[in-house]
Chain A
């Protein structure tokens, strides 16, 4: 690594930083990655100036080419913020990384004009190149991470939203399930339902699977586990919403909900739950 000479290019760039920023901005705008619809000129300019300042300050602090080192911390933080905000704004990773990479062209031009000695020029260009490459890759990395964060958060929200525990009556809970049940979702459902039973002090819980497209042996296993766990806590479970075609496939697969009350519709399940709680529903006598 050409660490001793790391300062020379920085000095050259610092001397002419205003012109450099102008060139750099032109370069960014000319590149196919420019997105005038997402960012204004002035925003781009202030970001460019700030990044260049941080870059030169880091070199002044005696930074080496190892960008994970302490002097690079402000630059990393700044690039991290830029990547994250661009990820949410809808930039592509290439467009984000181009912010850093497009600095190369104008900086090389500047160095070329300044340094006459070819060997020295080559060394400077190389050491500058190494750092810009690493910083550029760093933006892509942060971009990727923030995208993954978004995906994870959405997954968690979906899990939460897809398993609501609702109270139908005092002592009667319902859990309407919509969508495919995989192991992870089944686990969340089980925990939510059991917690709901404790919170509401409900003795009866109805699991409605009208919205579950397929019930195979694994899904049945998950449901049976949930029912068993609820029973251990002292609550009875009813599985409702079994469609004819699901009943047929279950019979063909040899899946059975043994020892579990099952009904075809949620209404039947509610009627059964009323009987369990010793509640009676009756139509009021008409007044005529």
Chain B
């Protein structure tokens, strides 16, 4: 079965979705990703969806639940490169995903992950300051 590759980069996991997501693929991504987070003791996950052109409510909710799951496992998830059309669709579906962390591109996303994981080791105060 087709699988979305999960790459390990230091403390972080990098997932780039390059194919059309169907529900089964999305579920398998969720399962594998949580397994890998535990296996590699990852502290951050970068989810690149810049080539994703279509989302439905299922995929949208899944993005939110992946972030929640990895946070429970001690890894922050940053979703990067969401297209305007995808963002509009999610908002129209009523999925604002308030707690999801996002960034414009992979570079900014990596910076954000770096600062998030630093902040969590140095104490919660720093994140406040950045706001």
Residue of B nearest to A193 (CB): B84
Q: Given A225-B92, A228-B91, A233–B84 Cβ distance below 8 Å?
A: yes
User: Which chain B residue has the least Cβ–Cβ distance from A196?
Assistant: B84
CB closest chain-A residue, reference B84: A194
Proximity bits, B87-123, A CB within 8 Å = 1, else 0: 1101110001110101111001100000000000000
* Interchain CB contact under 8 A, A191 and B104: no
| Set of chain B residues within 8 Å of A190, measured between Cβ atoms | 88
Q: Which of A220-250 contact B (CB under 8 A)?
A: 225, 228-235
Q: Are A203 and B104 in contact (CB under 8 A)?
A: yes
**Cβ distance A230 to chain B, nearest Cβ, rounded Å:** 7
Q: B80 on the interface (CB 8 Å rule)?
A: yes
Q: Is the CB of A197 within 8 A of B104?
A: yes
Q: For the complex, give the distance between the alpha carbons of A203 and B107 in Å.
A: 12
Interface assignment of A201: CB less than 8 Å from any CB of chain B: yes
Q: Is A92 an interface residue (CB 8 A)?
A: no
Q: Chain A residues with Cβ under 8 A from B91's Cβ?
A: 225, 228-229, 232
Residue from A198, A202, A225 within 8 A of B83 (CB atoms): A198
Instruction: Decide: A234 near B88, CB < 8 A? Known: A198-B83, A228-B96, A259-B98.
Output: no
Could you say which residues of chain B place their CB within 8 Å of the CB of A201? 104-105
Does B62 reach chain A (CB closer than 8 Å)?
no
Size of the chain B interface, CB-CB below 8 angstroms: 22
Residue among A194, A197, A201, A259 with most chain B CB within 10 A: A194
| A2 neighbours in B (Cβ, 8 Å) | none
Alpha-carbon distance A230/B80, docked complex (angstroms): 12
Q: Does A88 contact B (CB under 8 A)?
A: no
Q: Answer yes or no: A195 CB below 8 A from chain B CBs.
A: yes
Q: How far is the CB of B33 from chain A (nearest CB, A)?
A: 20
Asked if A232 and B104 sit within 8 Å, CB to CB, the answer is no
Question: Could you tell me which residues of chain A, from 197 to 220, have a CB within 8 Å of some CB in chain B?
Answer: 197-198, 201-203
- Verify if B82 is at the interface (C-beta below 8 Å from A): yes
| Residues on the B chain within 8 Å of A228, using CB | 91, 96
Residue in chain B with minimal CB distance to A261: B131
| Cα distance A190–B89 in the bound complex, in angstroms | 12
Bound: A74/B41 CA distance, A = 77
- Given contact pairs A234-B102, A259-B98, A229 touches B108 in the complex (Cβ within 8 A): no
Contact B92 A234 (CB under 8 A): no
Q: Which residues of B contact A234 (CB under 8 A)?
A: 79-82, 102-105, 108-109
Task: For A229, give its contact among B80, B81, B84, B98 (CB under 8 Å).
Answer: B84
Q: Which residues of A contact B (CB under 8 A)?
A: 190-191, 194-195, 197-198, 201-203, 225, 228-235, 259
Query: Can you identify 9 A-B contacts, CB atoms within 8 angstroms?
Result: A203-B104, A203-B108, A229-B87, A229-B88, A229-B91, A232-B79, A234-B79, A234-B103, A235-B104
Q: Known A-B contacts: A232-B82, A234-B104. Give 11 more (CB < 8 A).
A: A191-B84, A229-B84, A229-B88, A231-B102, A232-B86, A232-B96, A232-B102, A233-B83, A234-B81, A234-B109, A259-B98
Among all A-B residue pairs, the 5 with the closest Cβ atoms:
A194-B84, A229-B87, A234-B102, A234-B103, A232-B87
